[in-house]
Chains A and B, each alone.
Chain A
Amino acid sequence: ETGVTQTPRHLVMGMTNKKSLKCEQHLGHNAMYWYKQSAKKPLELMFVYNFKEQTENNSVPSRFSPECPNSSHLFLHLHTLQPEDSALYLCASSPRTASNMNTEAFFGQGTRLTVV
């Protein structure tokens, strides 16, 4: 148990649906991340939030919309997805200070998303 909780663990959605993934951490971390893990590909960094401000959008299509209402919660809103968006979506958090780059990211267990 890393202290980062993702819900749901599994999600099947149609291409016209709207759904949201949720991530929660109570570790006192200020940085939160969304990663996409597809088969045979590296983990792809999607978004980074620091102190609730988005600091990285790695050319992610607009059908993925992140939201960070506070430092403990991170959402990924999904709409009109494509079958190729099926993947494991991992949330992570880490401390955010200049002296803490050696601190690892703590990951949730991921949401397995299937788009049909």
Chain B
Amino acid sequence: AQTVTQSQPEMSVQEAETVTLSCTYDTSESDYYLFWYKQPPSRQMILVIRQEAYKQQNATENRFSVNFQKAAKSFSLKISDSQLGDAAMYFCAYRYRDDKIIFGKGTRLHILP
């Protein structure tokens, strides 16, 4: 069965610093998609970034980038120049055939002023 593991329940980072959130997944599929979602206190789940498994190039969205290691089944999120508004729960998610989207347990990120 496909699983997504986020081993860091909580993390803290100083404002303006860089932080990396870890995610590993288990799958026997070769064609799939990976996502990072952000859930602030408002509870609204918002997509941060996505990665297609067939692409070797790591996705980047402004201050957010991923380190996708397909062989290691690792998909970490790097947030550069952290801002107070980045404080939230971050969920790693995996999508494969059909429409199932499987989520990890999440990492709560605190931004220290």
Counted as pairs of residues, one from A and one from B, with CB atoms less than 8 Å apart, the total is 60
Our pick among B44, B46, B102 for the contact of A45 (Cβ within 8 Å) is: B102
Our pick among B33, B45, B103, B105 for the contact of A101 (Cβ within 8 Å) is: B33
Interface string of B51-70 (1 = CB under 8 A from A): 01000000000000000000
Residues of A within 8 A of B98 (CB): 48, 55-56
| Given the contacts A42-B4, A101-B33, A102-B50, A107 and B96 also touching, CB distance less than 8 Å | no
Min CB gap B99→A, angstroms: 5
Q: How far is A78 from B80 in the complex, measured between Cα atoms in Å?
A: 43
The bracket for how many chain A residues form the interface is 20 to 34
CB pair A101 B44 closer than 8 Å:
no
Instruction: List the interface of chain A (C-beta within 8 A of B).
Output: 2, 31, 33, 35, 40-43, 45, 48, 50, 55-56, 88, 90, 92, 94, 96, 101-102, 104-105, 107, 109-110, 112
